[in-house]
Structure 1
Amino acid sequence: MDLDYEDVDDYNYTYSDIYQDLHPSVNFSASLNRNQSHTEDPFKIFIIVLLAVIFLLGVCGNGLVIWMTGFKMKRTVNTTWFLSLAIADFIFCVFIPFSIVHAAYDFHWHFGLVMCKLTSFIMFLNMFVSIFLLTLISIDRCVSVIFPVWSQNYRTPRMASVVVLAAWVASALLSTPSLVFRDIYSTDEKTTCYNNYRLASDQSHQSAAERHKAVSLTRFICSFVIPFIVIVICYSIIVAKVRNNRMAKSSKPFRIMAGIIVAFFICWLPYHVFIIMEISHHQHNKQVLHYGMPIVYMLASANSFLNPILYVFMGKDFQQKFRLSVLSRMENALGEDVQTSRRFSRTNSTYDKVSTHI
């Protein structure tokens, strides 16, 4: 429960957090923490190692995608989507070293109030941008199937850029609770970065709990429930249309997007489940929350390096891709929509032309 530290005697735990809103640290006394420090070391080391791996893979993978889609490939609607996804993941990965240092120093926050707020803001910005873009891609491809003529005339990189900008603005607005409620609390032993849902003008427990619940449910609805419903509807329409008209000439773009979407929900659904559980933490086992939160944070962070891997290795058969260079594989995986569109546009009907965008 994200509560002010004045309330620690009334609650069993509160956010601490390397895990940027995800890790509830058990609020034992200082002496008990010292007694448990030895037994918690392996878990802390596991967190540090995993964060370091995610950082390296995420920065390298997304940096490569940014370089390819931003500088080496022709600007298209699809490369605009992929570039924006990679930028969001790259920015998130750049901030992971703050969490690594935080864990290495026994979760003592060294970086002040501004970075306490900013690291949390960046994580949720990445979450919202990623799911909004996946939703927009689903809508884009559904529209291409239902309205092929309109899509051929108006589906342009410039329009995609405007939509991407709108998604970033909306994501930033939905991430502002981190800038408002994130706070630091210092004792003689350590400084903690945590959520303080209390306002100076209102010190009641009930109001803070209501704000916490409102923020958590808003994130869950806006970043999971609504996008999930939209994506399922869009891809159901696409699959039905493809089967009825036998439109698809290549399943690769569909497989790539399906993989990205599945990876996103596998990585982020456990986080939302634990956050909903945390709202009513008194009804759940504290150890499950204590050790489960950092694990779901690892899953959520892993999504930032999974997307580039999906771009590369889902484009064609793995053996064929293995024989190609990394750059050739990535360009082929991300650019096939454009290549197949050109190839089939010379020989097939209007429906066949737009089918390559699916």
Structure 2
Amino acid sequence: MDVEYIEFEDYAPDNETEINSTAAGMLNFSPPRTPLTLVVINIIISVIGLGGNSLVIWICGWKMKRTVFTTWYISLAISDFLFCALLPLEVFYTMTSHWPFGLVLCKLTSSALFLNMYSSVFLLVLISADRCVMVSFPVWSHNHRTVMKAGRVVALMWLLSALLTLPSLIFRQITVHGSVTQCYMDYMGHSRHKGVKLTRFICGFLIPFLTIVFCCTVLGVKLRSLTIKSTKPYKVMVALILSFFICWFPYHCFVLLELDWKNHSLEVLSTGLKVGATMAASNSFISPVLYVFLGSDFKKTLKRSLMSRIEEAMAEDFRTGGLNHSRSKAVEMK
């Protein structure tokens, strides 16, 4: 029985449309390239993401006291930084439709977005659950929440994210057509293709979403019963969660529609996946922006660190200027 399906590129769906058939083999077609607007947006995402997440790693890693919360945020920033570091390769491929970087980077670049997706959403689950436990069981939380245990949980989270990202590493391949090399996904069967996409949706979106909603509901009920009504410590958490699901929801919607591509316009699906992938990528630079504008402790530490650097630079200039002035005086006296 012939199995025929259209497989859109996981991260850059414009790169090629793959039509597989057990009888006819595999044919590769190249649809129109991504609009220039989306290319520019991806470049901006990469630049701001690299700078912003580097800043978060520096502030939370070296300037702030190491706590359970900074452990969560550092890990989230590292995840976003790794994706933004590989994004320029995908932007180049989007613009040229040629992949000169080899099979290893083909697999790694494709996997970066999904590793970022899994690690980010799992960290948001950890952050939500941690806040929920702190409010619901304050005594137990005080006795058992340690930075070392948080580090172990983060390590397990990265391991699980890597395991779920394995399909991108396994099925990503390159093919050469004359002078052009293409980097594409070859699932070798519709059932496998469908299984991978459904797993991503269920494990990377649906289950985490329901878990976070449950934790936030419990947290909201507990906060209402407290005499202290300040919610400032939770605004960064809420903003991070909202930004993640707003950025990723369109992508997952079009991925699910792609599974039933025969009943939908291919042009609409292709455009939707392009826009959805760009929105998903934008989550990598939104996080550090939220830290800067919403995190009071982060803002204070950032301001204090920058001021100290400026003061050190001015003091160095003053010392250098004073030394040169003294030398010139000594020369005049001679």
| TM-score calculated relative to the size of structure 1 | 0.77
Q: State the Cα distance separating 1:281 from its structure 2 match.
A: 1.1
Matched residue count: 295
The question of whether the paired residues in 1 share the 8 Å contact of 2:12 and 2:274 is answered with no
Measured on the aligned residues, the alpha-carbon RMSD in Å equals 2.6
Q: State the Cα distance separating 1:23 from its structure 2 match.
A: 4.3
Provide the C-alpha distance between the structure 2 equivalents of 1:153 and 1:22, rounded to a whole number of angstroms. 49
The question of whether the paired residues in 2 share the 8 Å contact of 1:24 and 1:289 is answered with no
The question of whether the paired residues in 2 share the 8 Å contact of 1:52 and 1:100 is answered with yes
Q: Determine whether 1:268 maps to 2:248.
A: yes
Q: State the Cα distance separating 1:191 from its structure 2 match.
A: 2.0
- Match of 1:327, as an amino acid? L
Q: Determine whether 1:103 maps to 2:94.
A: yes
Q: Determine whether 1:131 maps to 2:112.
A: no
SS in 2 for 1:186: strand
Q: Determine whether 1:314 maps to 2:294.
A: yes
Q: State the Cα distance separating 1:246 from its structure 2 match.
A: 2.8
Q: State the Cα distance separating 1:21 from its structure 2 match.
A: 5.9
Q: 2:195 aligns with which of 193, 202, 214?
A: 214
Q: State the Cα distance separating 1:104 from its structure 2 match.
A: 2.3
Provide the C-alpha distance between the structure 1 equivalents of 2:284 and 2:63, rounded to a whole number of angstroms. 22
Identical-pair percentage = 45
- Match of 2:208, as an amino acid? P
- Match of 2:194, as an amino acid? K
Deviations 1:285-340 (A, max 9, x none): 11101211111111000000000011111235xxxx9xx78922899xxxxxxxxx
Task: Give 2:224's aligned residue.
Answer: 243
- Match of 1:251, as an amino acid? T
- Segments of 5+ residues of structure 2 without an aligned counterpart are 20-26, 307-334
Q: Determine whether 1:81 maps to 2:55.
A: no
The question of whether the paired residues in 2 share the 8 Å contact of 1:44 and 1:103 is answered with no
- Segments of 5+ residues of structure 1 without an aligned counterpart are 1-6, 199-207, 332-358
How does 1:15-54 map onto structure 2 within 5 Å? 15=8, 17=9, 20=11, 22-23=13-14, 25=16, 43-54=34-45
Q: 1:115 aligns with which of 105, 115, 123?
A: 105
| Greater Cα radius of gyration, structure 1 or 2 | 2
Distance change (3 Å), C-alpha of 1:224 and 1:23? farther
Distance change (3 Å), C-alpha of 1:62 and 1:90? same
Provide the C-alpha distance between the structure 2 equivalents of 1:329 and 1:283, rounded to a whole number of angstroms. 57
Provide the C-alpha distance between the structure 1 equivalents of 2:212 and 2:222, rounded to a whole number of angstroms. 15
Q: 2:272 aligns with which of 268, 292, 295?
A: 292
Q: 1:281 aligns with which of 261, 268, 272?
A: 261
Provide the C-alpha distance between the structure 2 equivalents of 1:128 and 1:253, rounded to a whole number of angstroms. 25
SS in 1 for 2:66: coil
The question of whether the paired residues in 2 share the 8 Å contact of 1:20 and 1:123 is answered with yes
- Structure scoring higher RCO (CA < 8 A, sep ≥ 6) equals 1
Q: State the Cα distance separating 1:245 from its structure 2 match.
A: 2.5
Q: State the Cα distance separating 1:102 from its structure 2 match.
A: 0.7
Deviations 1:28-66 (A, max 9, x none): 9x9x97xx86xx6xx532222111100110000000000
